[in-house]
Amino acid sequence: MSPALSRLVDAARRTPPVTLATAAAAFLASLYVVAWPFTRAHLPPITDLPFHAAAMSILRHYFDPAFHFREQFTVELLKAPYWTMHGLGALLALVMPITAAAKVCSALLLACLPAGLSVLFRGMRKSPLLGLLGLPFVWNTLTHWGFLNFMAALGLFAAVVGFALMVVDAPTRRRQVWLGVSLLLVFSTHIFRFPFAVAAVVGTGVVMYPATRRFRPLIAPLLPSLVPFGIWLLVRDKELSASGMEPIHVHLERLQEVRGFLFGALTSPDELRLADATYWIVGAAMAACLVSGLLEGRWRRLSAPERWWAAGVTVLPLCIAAVFLGLYLTLPMQIGIWWYVYPREVLAALFVAVAICPDLPRAPLARVPILGAVAYASVAQAALVAREWGAYDATTRDFEQITRELPPAPRLGYLVWDRSDPHFKSPAYIHLPAWVQAEQGGWLSFHFVSWNAWPIRYRAGGQAGGSPDPRGDIPPETPLRFEWTPERFDLRTRGAFFDWFLVKRLGAPDPRFAREAQLKLVDHVGAWWLYHREP
């Protein structure tokens, strides 16, 4: 038996059975919340996930000539360090189908929320079981839009603060390594969260200094991530800057919009009903922890350094949450190519703010109702999401049937006129055809990589329409928000690159295709129409 496993077994033997059972139940509840909805839909209704899956497939099959990825794309890791999701998905795709890899990867990213919060509470000298307070944040509006990198980065940010607290509390080489690794993961998961993570580490050292008299142990863990960050600042593209940012103003009216930004993905009124219940349950759980602490007289038994520590770990999350709230009230909706900017920050503020929760009661049995209530609220949310995903899954059968007509690696132009599903407020269908590239390879008429915000880029030169060969290896350039305006797709210019056309349109087909003699209708299933260019 390895030393680490031996220590784990010894710790389990010394732990009361109630505590072990509670920890096991917390793990199972977390697993259900982050994973169960993914079992209810073959193609999850997460708006941006098809393109994330396509990026995973590009990395996985980059050297496979049957997919035709290498002739289209280059990989430039330092120009846009969004590596974690697509790299992890590509590794998973080595042992499972790309669809399953995308779903497992997404669940792991969402699991960073409770896991990161658990590390934060551990660093605060509180019970890691309070990480369950991160579960109610898993299925929110941002998740259904597909901001999975951001969601994972929030959990990793919390872990960074937790490891920073551990380092200043009792510095060890292992804790410093974990802090350095967590900072690197934030850097490679969501670059715009990284400066906040660095600032949080410095802020942790400053806020906690009266209690610890330590700051220097935090310096070394910063260096491994600051070096690649500095390189990125030198080589980054203009797309990853704040160009075109609107003037900053304070918008207090946004305080009234918080509820919708947190939970506004489903059309079912049950979502907001469960959200309201969750607010009360989380608030009651935090109040119960406060009352139990008062009844146990914890504050009276603290030494002077311990009181400084308790004050510091209360002030720290409040300060961080205040920064994120300030960003929510001041940032614009769009910065350059980045959209839905300020709504993200209110989720970050509330996620960090729950860390002010006092520790759980000392008695193991007294912890059960508090943690059970939080788990119940989170499981109920996940069950609702799973129900809606199951209903959506039936509507994608037509898409799966008609795409079987496509050959491997097709040159596919797609036009999605009807983007919405009645179960979701987000446009669940708008990027659905990207699953074709993820599973079969080939070319797409619109792609996220055209924004130069990912490490995967179209190759320079060979652009269709911009070289002597009108077909080229690279699809024609598309203007910003092209995917939202299929009427801008010109079949005789931009469309000349493609052999296959997939159209989602309720009722009658797109009349433009009837006017093109070379384009023949291959199949019509539900609202999907498939055309092929014949010689």
Q: Which of 109-113, 354-358, 420-424 has the lowest mean pLDDT?
A: 420-424
Taking 3-state DSSP, the helix, strand and coil percentages for the chain, each rounded to the nearest 5, stand at 60, 5, 30
**CA angle centred on 269, ends 268 and 274, rounded to 5°:** 110
Average pLDDT over residues 170-190: 97
Query: Residue 386 pLDDT more than 60?
Result: yes
The per-residue pLDDT for range 59-103, each reduced to its tens digit, is 999 999 999 999 999 999 888 889 999 999 999 999 999 999 999
Assign 472 a pLDDT band (cuts: 50, 70, 90): confident
Residue with the two structure tokens 């590509």: 90
User: From residue 126, how far is each of 15, 115, 300 by CA, in Å?
Assistant: 16, 14, 17
Query: Residue 401 pLDDT more than 90?
Result: yes
CA–CA distance, 79 with 455 (Å, rounded to integer): 6
DSSP state of 521: E
User: What are the residues whose beta carbons fall under 8 Å from the beta carbon of 377, sequence distance 6 or more?
Assistant: 136, 274, 277, 278, 281, 282
Helices (H), 172-303: 173-189, 194-212, 219-235, 258-262, 270-296
Q: What single-letter amino acid sits at 110?
A: L
CA–CA distance, 111 with 6 (Å, rounded to integer): 26
pLDDT at 465: 40
User: From residue 496, how far is each of 68, 416, 445, 510, 534 by CA, in Å?
Assistant: 19, 18, 11, 17, 12
When comparing pLDDT for 516 and 177, which is higher?
177
Q: What single-letter amino acid sits at 248?
A: I
pLDDT at 342: 93
CA–CA distance, 133 with 129 (Å, rounded to integer): 9
CA–CA distance, 385 with 383 (Å, rounded to integer): 5
Please, are residues 374 and 137 in contact by the beta-carbon 8 Å criterion? no
Would you list the domain boundaries of the chain? 15-236+250-391, 397-533
> For residues 321-345, b (16+ Cβ closer than 10 Å) or e, as one string?
bebbbebbbebbeebbbbeebbbbb
Compute, in degrees rounded to 10, the torsion defined by CA atoms 14, 20, 22, 28. Answer: 150
The per-residue pLDDT for range 153-162, each reduced to its tens digit, is 999 999 999 9
